[in-house]
Structure 1
Amino acid sequence: MLLRVLSTFQIEFAIALRNRWLSIAVVLMVLFSLVLAIAGAAPTGAVGADRLSVTVASLTSLSVYLVPLMALVISFDAIAGEIERGTLPLYLAYPVSRGELLVGKLSAQLVLIIVAVSLGYGTAALVAFWFSGGDAMDGLPALLRLIWTSVLLGAVFLSLGQMISGLSRRPSAAAGLAIGVWLVTVVLYDLGLLAAIVADDGGGFTTDVFPWLLVANPADAFRIYNLAASDAVGAASGLAGAAQSIALWKPLASLLVWVVLAAGLARGAFERVEP
């Protein structure tokens, strides 16, 4: 089984490396991280946070948008692309199960996400250490937390991209659906919650329902966990009180559940594909 997964991993990794949209996304990640790190090098004593924590707060907001987008760009044609190229029947003719094929693809794509976020966040960390020296060490745990939670967020959207790819069967349709999923989960979902809060005017929805709906979204769960897990990052973001009003285990549990749920949805969609 492991050898079959590794073979799929090698093939998918080579294909993903030729994805020009991935290259653009990685470059954007590094550039934006660099800009945010330089901006975060301004004096930060007023908010009681070191420079690296200020940078992590900014990177958290950046990652909510870029990491899901990168993951969907990598994975939207994972199955639909194979169907269009006519290679899916060839894959399935080998002694490899559909689950092993998906695991191999997901593993290769996840490695690319790890490389991208490590390059981006690593660049930001170097700038923070350059400007503040050893003081930036206080923000290192927050940076490491941001890296592994970004990988979890990437895994969620990679699996969602594979699900979309299996359901749409054509890369062009999959690309449109992927952008739609990104817009809904990252942009429109929060706008909808904001509108509901305004309409509720401090009623039961705001106090009882809203916190659960907030952590139910993997992108929001990622943001809340990173802001609430570190006092310095929360202070730098200006959202410490709001983030810490939700128990820390809830957003983390939501992320972990989404990793499993999205993988299951991808497997279910792939099982319905006829080569």
Structure 2
Amino acid sequence: MASELIDTHLHLIDQSVLSYPWLSSVEALNRDFLYEEYAQQALRVGITRALHMEVDVAASDIESETTNVAKLSAREGNLIAGAISSCRPEDEAFSAFLERQLANPLVKGFRRVLHVMPDELSAQPLFRENLKKLGGTGLSFDLCVLPKQIEKAITLADLAPDVQFILDHCGVPDIKGGAFKPWQAGITEIAKRANVTAKISGVVAYADAQTWNVETLAPYVNHVIASFGFDRLVWGSDWPVCTLGGGLATWVAATHALVAGCSEDEKAKLFSQNAKRIWKL
């Protein structure tokens, strides 16, 4: 087992501090998921550091979310090594926002959730021009898209070849629905872009919560590994979304089972080395 395990996809939910408009429609996640609960589980399964991933808070709370993460990261002995901030590249105010984030060493990258937004959003000229501004900053951009939207993600990667893109959750395959073929082709194509790294994260949430096992996940994870190679992979929990498919310890155990046949060097790249390189951890 690799000595380090960096979780590149931790969500924390604190409804006493921030507003999450989408939570009202997801009953299973509509409660607080605080750092203490995560840390207890994470330390038990060997997670050594974590990047906080934005949780699609209300637009007015975006910078408050980063401030809240900063307070947690300042505690002695905590696991949080950085934050992936939400952003709105479609807004005129993005340039000023970007300047503020560049001055904050905690911020390691950005994400604008696209899988729940109209496809036209990422096609807007302003969105695309602003995304290009990440080139040369060292800040990454996470792509959270459905398989049917993978062409939109590929277009963004091609438009900004010097931006480091991270494809979340193995490209969000419909494992429960068994929709392998269309997803497979999209992964093969986007993996041809050298500026895209894939995140093996949270796929247990897309499988049947009652019946999935390691063999259920293997074709999807194996195809991502084969397509991207171990130099362009990172690992993430997607906690607490992973609780929909069994929880943190279950997903960590499944991951270790899925890569059991890989070399120690390959595991080290997936579990920590690539994350340290990409986000300068």
Whether TM-score is above 0.5 comes out as: no
TM-score, normalized by length of structure 1?
A: 0.27
Quick one: higher RCO (CA 8 Å, sep 6+), 1 or 2? 1
The structure with more strand, counted as a fraction of residues? 2
TM-score, normalized by length of structure 2?
A: 0.27
Please identify the structure whose Cα radius of gyration is greater.
Answer: 1
